[in-house]
Structure 1
Amino acid sequence: MHIGILRLKFSLPGCRSLKEKRQRMRGMHERYGRNPAVAVCESADHDRLESSEWSFVVVATSSQKVESLCSEIEDKVQRTVDGRILDVSREFL
């Protein structure tokens, strides 16, 4: 079993309320949590309006599959989230 942790730090310029932040980040659980190989959560900056950090834990039978899923998630997030990705980190266990 291979495990990868993908962390994405977002900038949400102009965000004026937590409600707006949730709307801009909505769907992360639904989109990526459907895959039984992926667990997703907001891991930092819960109460900060203009930033958010999300972590994705990916489990697969090979390190190549973990890397592929992490890349796929990162690409989809860049296209679908109303914000800018400031930092990406990957850790493999």
Structure 2
Amino acid sequence: MHIAILTVSISLPGCRSLKEKRQRMGGIHERFGRNPAVAVCESGERDRLDASEWTFVVVAQESQKVESLCNEIEERLLRSVDGRVGEMTREWL
């Protein structure tokens, strides 16, 4: 079993309300949480309107599959989030 933790920081310049923050994040939890190999949560910056931090736990039998899923998550975030995707870190367990 291979496990990676992907943490992503996102800047939301000009965001003025919690409702706008949720809209700009575009349903990250629903989109990525459907995959049974991925657990996702907003892990930081919950009280700030202009920033958000998300953590994805990716699990698979092969390390290549974990790597592929992490790459897919990163690419989809870069394309779909209405904000600036900043630091992305991976930790292997």
Percent identity of equivalent pairs = 70
1:6 maps to 2:6: yes
- Alignment TM-score, normalising by the size of structure 2: 0.97
CA RMSD after TM alignment: 0.7
The number of aligned residues is 93
Unmatched runs of 5 consecutive residues or more in structure 2: none
- SS of the equivalent of 1:89 reads strand
Segments of 4+ moved more than 3 angstroms: none
Equivalent in the alignment of 2:37: 37
1:58 maps to 2:58: yes
- SS of the equivalent of 2:6 reads strand
Unmatched runs of 5 consecutive residues or more in structure 1: none
Which deviations, in whole Å up to 9, do the C-alpha atoms of 1:13-59 show, x marking residues without a partner?
00011111111113111110000000000000001011000000000
- Alignment TM-score, normalising by the size of structure 1: 0.97
By how many angstroms is 1:88 displaced?
0.4
Is contact 2:26–2:80 with CA below 8 Å preserved after alignment?
no
